[in-house]
Amino acid sequence: MKELLIATKNKGKVREIDNLLGPLGFKVTSLLDHANMPEIIEDAETFRGNAAKKAVVIARHTGVLVMGEDSGLEVDALDGRPGVYSARYSGEQATDESNNDLLLKELSGVPYEKRTARYRCAMAFADKDALIDVVEGACEGIITSERRGTNGFGYDPLFLIPAYQKTFGELDLTVKQTMSHRAQALKKFLKLLENYLVRTSY
C-alpha cells in the first residue's frame, strides 16, 4: 500500500484527511507514527510557506511522499488575525480552549454582521527530491458569541456556517467534509497526487 505522510501531529487533521484519502488505497501516516523526525519551526508569514517547509523537510528526511498542511482562521474584525498564529494564538502553551476564550474576548461587543471570518488551508506536496506544488482552500463563516457543539477541533465550536445555521462543532463530520477549507484544498491536492502517480508510476 502506498504511504502518504501528513507532516503534522494534530490528530484531528490526520483523521479528516485519512477519511478522505484512505478509500483511495493510501496508508495515511503522520509525524506521530515516525520516530526521530526533525523539528520544524513554522516561521513563514503565510500558510503556503509553512506548508511547503513542512513537506520538503519531512520528504527529504523520510524519502516518502509527504503532505505539508498549514491552516488557520482569519477574522475580518481582527484584521485577519489569528492567521498563521491560529494554533498558538493565546501563547506557546495554547490549547483549543484558551484560543477560543481569547477569540471570544477580542470579539466581545462586535455585532454579528461584522464577525465574518474564514478558515484557510494550504497543502503542499513533496517527494524526496522536490516540492511538487502547493494548493489552497477556504471556507467562509461567522464567529458565534459562544461555543456550540463538541465535534471537530480548533475553532470549530465558534465557526458558524450560515447556510446551515450550525457551527462546525455541531455539524456531522461527513457534512463538514463536503465544504471545509481542508476539503476544498484536498480536492486540488488529489489532482496533484493523481498526476504525480501517472507521471512517475510510483
Catalytic residue among 33, 70, 101, 133: 70
Nearest to 5 by CA among 70, 66, 53: 66
Q: What is the largest CA-CA distance in the chain?
A: 56
Q: Which helix (H) or strand (E) holds 72?
A: strand 65-75
In the annotation, is 70 catalytic? yes
Reading the block at residue 41, the C-alpha cell is 519551526
Q: Is 5 exposed, middle or buried (0-12, 13-18, 19+ CB in 10 A)?
A: buried
Are residues 73 and 86 in contact, defined by beta-carbon separation less than 8 angstroms? yes
Reading the block at residue 56, the C-alpha cell is 520538503
Three-state SS string across 155-171, please?
CHHHEEECCCCEECCCC
SS percent in the chain: helix, strand, coil, step 5: 45, 25, 30
User: Would you please indicate which residues are annotated as catalytic (active-site) residues?
Assistant: 70
